[in-house]
Structure 1
């Protein structure tokens, strides 16, 4: 990377950390500069507006999430994939026991996308990657009509993650919820 793209990436990383720690309202050019270890002028040089800064941060987050979830989906294509492996993938998605600012930032960004239609396409791209992973897992578990149910599974994961964020519930609650769901889902017949 060039020094300019290193600086730009440092700014984006700082924005995501700030959002995760204190929300979008805390994103100011001065705070970004301090957090990124760059001059105030660098922030305004690389990003002319707050909207551009938030959009680029969301796009960066989406690209990382899409890459991560697509790789996880590819791992779920083993013909011997079972409920135990599904639980491991879900635990990985849940992020273990630490629910840090990296886990909080997506909620803030998606709420912002709900307020700003210019960010919705980027959010939709990320949800498509989530749906792909859910559909692969459901397919491997023999759940009928996995593409139709993928969005429901993703919504359940997000709801459980939001609950976890708000209450401090352990990641195992998410895994347990999804295992219960698959237990009651009818299985496909050959």
Structure 2
């Protein structure tokens, strides 16, 4: 027999897939139950309102993402120490490996919905606080000055560039280049080492 926690998770995953594929307006308990392959009663048992569904789905997604990024940063630090080029390479790996499937599109929809629905704003604020905290930790490891002030700018930059990738199909290297410029300026080193702009075309790379 499936555990209640597993059923709840299947419902949340279904909500994220539906929102990412068709938007929040496509949500209904019947549609969620079908997508999650659970009974209609299970949806209303675990989540009494759509607001609760949206809130928990957003918080769950961000918790998973921040845990993943934190583990990556910790692994980099343990292996070779974390410097600015290493952090940028980590971002490129993560961003370049992220396919904008429905599950990754869903949070953008939820953040926009928070602008319309005040009941979601506390959850959205909690999510951004988690991202800010992660960014502060990485910036401290890099030895950059005033990480508390810089963290919000880094998070905003990442979100903006990811939204641009989603809308235009621009490459992940654009995000890396911008991060290098921002962190290089914050470190007082002048223009940071360039990323994709200084890389030779793939056909001309050594090896």
Q: Which residue number corresponds to residue 107 of structure 1?
A: 108
Alpha-carbon distance in 1 for matches of 2:2, 2:188: 52
Higher mean C-alpha deviation, range 52-61 or range 158-167: 52-61
- The number of residue pairs the alignment matches comes to 188
Q: 1:95 to 1:54 in 2, by over 3 A?
A: farther
Q: Which residue number corresponds to residue 53 of structure 2?
A: 53
Q: 1:81 to 1:70 in 2, by over 3 A?
A: closer
Q: 1:131 to 1:92 in 2, by over 3 A?
A: farther
Q: Which residue number corresponds to residue 156 of structure 1?
A: 157
**Are residue 179 (structure 1) and residue 180 (structure 2) matched?**
yes
Q: Deviations over 1:124-181 (max 9, x none)?
A: 2221221122223333333221111110111011110111111011112111211122
**Are residue 88 (structure 1) and residue 89 (structure 2) matched?**
yes
TM-score for the superposition, normalised by structure 1:
0.85
Q: 1:109 to 1:161 in 2, by over 3 A?
A: same
CA RMSD of aligned residues (A): 2.4
Alpha-carbon distance in 2 for matches of 1:23, 1:140: 38
Residue 17 of structure 1 and its aligned partner are, at CA, apart by: 0.9
Gaps of 5+ in 2: 190-207
Q: Which residue number corresponds to residue 32 of structure 1?
A: 32
Gaps of 5+ in 1: none
Alpha-carbon distance in 1 for matches of 2:76, 2:122: 26
Residue 14 of structure 1 and its aligned partner are, at CA, apart by: 0.2
TM-score for the superposition, normalised by structure 2:
0.79
Alpha-carbon distance in 1 for matches of 2:98, 2:59: 26
* Structure ranking higher on relative contact order (CA contacts 8 Å, 6+ apart): 1
Higher mean C-alpha deviation, range 172-181 or range 158-167: 172-181
